[in-house]
Amino acid sequence: LADRRGPAEETSHGNAGVIQREAVLPYTFPRDVGKIAGYALNRLPEANLHWSALPGLAPWLYAHWRQSQPDNVVRTARGARPLVERCIEEHRSLMMAAGSRVVVRETGYLKVYRTPARLDAEITAGEAAQRTWGIEQSVHTAGQLRDLEPALMGPLAGGILKTQPVSVDDPGALGKSYADLFTARGGRLLTADARTLAADPGGWRIATVEGPIVAREVVVALGPWAREVLDPLGVRVPLIAKRGYHMHYGTVGNAGLTRPVLDAEVGYVLAPMARGVRLTTGAEFALADAPPTPVQLDRVEPLAREILPLGSRLDPAPWLGGRPCLPDMLPMIGAAPGHNGLWLDIGHHHLGFTLGPVSGRLLAEMMTGQAPFTDPAPYRVDRFAVGAQEAF
């Protein structure tokens, strides 16, 4: 395993810690003109757009808009379902083998709403999703929310508990425990710059601090940095990184949470972690090398303090990570056409932590000639190629 840093020190270190068993339906491009305008003008806290990035992002946004049409959303959900349905099972298998001590909470996650109208609309949508996709939920009034989470307060109309997910109190530590399992089973961790990857008569070669390594096959699993390796090899993938921030907070008195809470009308998550309460922001659209601009954090922190008595910030600076997104919000899992021995496992958008183990299992089955547990066709690498059904 060649990486420039240690295991689990990038994107999956910084998420809300939820293994999202309910996440069959994808994040979609809004269809409401008013909401689109609000995002474009940076008037909604769940998104922040750098206008300097728009020329480069425009083709991807257009493709994402196309993929967000109802028929395409159904196709994405059908593709996501086999992975999502096994996500907890595959995590638990690795947790047990690794002897992980990370706290696992079987409490689901809670979506809270500030207005009755939005709550009612989401209840109706959730009931339809439960009938069609088996996404389980329970509805709670404002008073019942306090039974679930006594520390919640303020202007809440009610909430929806997604009962199938589980969450952990330290996703970075869990990732490191998986890396320890890898080395215990004979794997090696090497420090390397993945951009040195190149074809070799023996297959593929990469330069590491311990010298070059040559292998018959190679897997690119680089999240938001995948294009830095794939573009020079001539493998074109329509991948962007939605950036996001987090900050940890103490709490006042004995206030705390037993599960992650999504403030659904504002667009941030409060997640109980070993370090404190982690506040994670929505999406920022920016150039890959743009300096951090954590304005969303500053916007939502006062709103978060309305519903939970947060204490002081605990981190010296906001953490910044990137969510690697393809237009249809499905990962690419499989062989790169025209590049013998080159395999991809990328593009898990907001579900990298959730889908890492199960997509790894699928890829391993494909690479070793085993019967895959599900049809890998929805995740094929060339599905956006010119002439494909859904050209980018």
Residue by residue, DSSP assigns 280-336 as E--EEE--TTPPP-THHHHHHHHHHHHHS-EEEE-SSS-EEEEEEE-TTS--EEEEP
What's the pLDDT at 390? 45
What's the pLDDT at 4? 93
- Give which of 171, 131, 244, 136 is closest to 19, Cα–Cα: 171
User: What is the enclosing helix (H) or strand (E) of 356?
Assistant: helix 352-367
What's the pLDDT at 31? 86
Q: CA torsion, points 44, 45, 51, 52, in degrees to nearest 10?
A: -170
Token pair 């068993």 is found at: 21
What's the pLDDT at 32? 87
Mean pLDDT, each 10-residue run in order, the chain (392 residues)? 92 93 95 90 94 95 96 97 98 97 96 97 97 97 95 96 98 96 97 96 96 97 96 96 97 94 97 97 94 97 97 97 97 97 97 97 98 98 70 38
**Hey, what amino acid is at 248?**
H
Whole-structure pTM value: 0.95
Rounded CA separation 288/284 (Å): 11
